Structure 1
Amino acid sequence: MRRQLAAILGNMDHRIELGAFLRHRRDALRPEDVGLLPGGRRRAPGLRRDEIALLANISTDYYERLEQGRGPNPSSTVLGRLARALRMSSDEREHLYVLAGQSPPPSFRTDNHVDPGLMRVLDALSAATPALVSDDLGTIIAQNPLNVLLLGRYAERPPPENNQVWRWFTDPRCRTLFLEHQHEELGRGYVAGLRAGLARHPHDPAAEALLAKLQVGSAEFRNLWGRHELAIPRSTLKVMQHPGVGRLELRCDVVISPSTGQAMVLFGPQPGTDAGERLALLRTRGTDSFAE
């Protein structure tokens, strides 16, 4: 099927087709579909080009040239960002790569493409609930703004800095957010979850490289890995000491997509605590030195 599509497109100007496809997807979206406020008058339905450029972390001028069919062929990284910004399904994402003259990545996880269903939920929660999406190896591939303020920026970092298992065992700053008595339990959970993810992806070079780096970089990780514990992520209570708003008792609920294995983690206030008020304070402040 992929070869047939490439043959059909062989006599077309790929850049024009690519631009038309991007415009079609942009016109089909509404601000609320991507977590933006719908206010303000718009000359046409759909999102503006500058909004897509912002979501994809590229310049507006570059995106305009892509839609107009006069830009250079985008890289695989840019294509992945566009697919996420435009909330493409897996089939649409594959078509996007073919139009750009590239082979689609073989799985969601290889280019950090977010499960579309989880992405819609992430957008819907953006105003009030910190939430993130990670793959089954612990790599954070999407965060809403409140989650960035809560945990710091992961999703836009290069690998392995965007992986929460790697950061936990190699960056002491990550642990300062959590009370010390939780450190062992959290570390064991990260390792058990990574083992479960690796079991689903045998002989995956990227997964094996991450494991090798962790074993070299952390004696604590090697010790926990030797326990052979395996578990999928589950809902837990986490007590944080945030540098901006103080103590937070949060219920971390996990929703796993059966089709991709990606997990959404929602950080909700523990009933009977003031965590809700503190999260509201964090949202009101909008920026925090920890998140930069």
Structure 2
Amino acid sequence: MSSAAKSIQSTMRGELADFLRRRRADLAPAVVGLRSGERRRTPGLRRDEVARLANMSTNYYERLEQGRGPQPSAAILAGLATALRLDADERGYLYRLAGHAAPAVARPRGYVDPRLLSVMRAVSATSPAFVSDDLATIVAQNDLHVALFDRVTGLDGWAGNLFWNWFVSRRWRHRVLATPAQQADIGRAYVAYLRVAVAQREYDPAATALVAALRAGSAEFARMWDEHRVSASYSSAVTVLDERVGRLDFDYALTVSSQSRQRLHSLHAVPGTSTQERLARLGELARDSAIHVSTVPG
């Protein structure tokens, strides 16, 4: 390990130790069901109390507060976060100081990050867009995206997952105008991104279930997964052929929320093409279709 890396590691351990000490001092015994008592010599909890609540030895916890010992595991960090009653931001900070990816925050089914939803709606007149979780399961689409790719939000199983729609059902793939080699490049970019997402989730049940389903449903995915390529993003240019308005040339943008780890995927018309005019026409057709459906007697 280089001297610079050692210096960074030492700084991170020091910050972790200080963070634990201060959160321990801030936590009133009554909050965790302990009696305060008059004989306490320190504010907040004692080290042995935190260790007991976190299901670890007092000696191990003391070493963490002293900036010593091995890197704590994700299980140890989860115990500490619970014992110290950390909120979502503090929990993520704790994991990062210890050299781990912040765990995904549990959200109720159907949750959509309000910040990403606001942006998705703001661009709805000009850009097809959707919001997904970190495994690319779609939780919201704007009208232009639905007009291009159909509504998949809320579908059962993996039917609402981007990668499933590319590799297994292929319901979106046939709309992308690309050679077989270009489609293979898109697929590899998807798989490389999914590799990173699955590792960040530490191969939790949802991530491993998706990978298993994709491997079982697509020999192409299985082959690409075994290549073990990794990438933090898969944004790229893409061309879509729509039978109603013709060719649409897009730049692809991916925005990640630091709060929820959900993603906003948006398609933006390439300057100098007729895409924006054709999207406007597609929007009109979608609105006319919606009006027609709503006025048909039931």
TM-score by length of 1: 0.60
Distance change (3 Å), C-alpha of 1:187 and 1:109: farther
1: CA distance, partners of 2:188 / 2:152: 21
Q: Which secondary structure does the structure 2 equivalent of 1:126 belong to?
A: coil
1: CA distance, partners of 2:240 / 2:255: 21
What are the residue-to-residue correspondences of 1:1-292 with 2, within 5 Å? 107-108=105-106, 111-181=109-179, 182-286=182-286
1: CA distance, partners of 2:108 / 2:190: 20
2: CA distance, partners of 1:111 / 1:200: 21
8 Å CA contact 1:108, 1:260 repeated in 2: no
8 Å CA contact 1:109, 1:135 repeated in 2: no
Q: Which secondary structure does the structure 2 equivalent of 1:232 belong to?
A: coil
Q: Which secondary structure does the structure 1 equivalent of 2:251 belong to?
A: strand
1: CA distance, partners of 2:255 / 2:228: 24
- How far the C-alpha of 1:234 sits from its partner, in A, is 4.2
Match of 1:13 in 2: none
1: CA distance, partners of 2:171 / 2:228: 27
Distance change (3 Å), C-alpha of 1:252 and 1:109: farther
Give the count of matched residue pairs: 190
- 1:105-131 superposed Cα distances (whole Å, 9 cap, x missing partner): x83566241112111111222233211
Distance change (3 Å), C-alpha of 1:109 and 1:163: farther
1: CA distance, partners of 2:273 / 2:107: 36
RMSD: 2.7
8 Å CA contact 2:193, 2:234 repeated in 1: no
8 Å CA contact 1:253, 1:266 repeated in 2: yes
Moved more, 143-152 or 106-115: 106-115
Q: Which secondary structure does the structure 1 equivalent of 2:248 belong to?
A: strand
8 Å CA contact 1:250, 1:268 repeated in 2: yes
Q: Which secondary structure does the structure 2 equivalent of 1:258 belong to?
A: coil
1: CA distance, partners of 2:154 / 2:116: 18
8 Å CA contact 2:134, 2:263 repeated in 1: yes
- How far the C-alpha of 1:164 sits from its partner, in A, is 0.8
8 Å CA contact 1:108, 1:114 repeated in 2: no
TM-score by length of 2: 0.58
2: CA distance, partners of 1:201 / 1:175: 27
8 Å CA contact 1:249, 1:269 repeated in 2: yes
Match of 1:23 in 2: none
Distance change (3 Å), C-alpha of 1:233 and 1:244: farther
2: CA distance, partners of 1:164 / 1:272: 29
- How far the C-alpha of 1:212 sits from its partner, in A, is 0.7
Give the residue type in structure 1 aligned to 2:200.
R
8 Å CA contact 2:154, 2:160 repeated in 1: yes
**Runs of 4+ residues deviating >6 angstroms:** none
Distance change (3 Å), C-alpha of 1:220 and 1:109: farther
Larger Rg: 2
- How far the C-alpha of 1:259 sits from its partner, in A, is 2.2
2: CA distance, partners of 1:171 / 1:280: 28
8 Å CA contact 1:269, 1:276 repeated in 2: yes
1: CA distance, partners of 2:250 / 2:219: 29
8 Å CA contact 2:131, 2:263 repeated in 1: yes
2: CA distance, partners of 1:240 / 1:216: 28
Give the residue type in structure 1 aligned to 2:226.
G
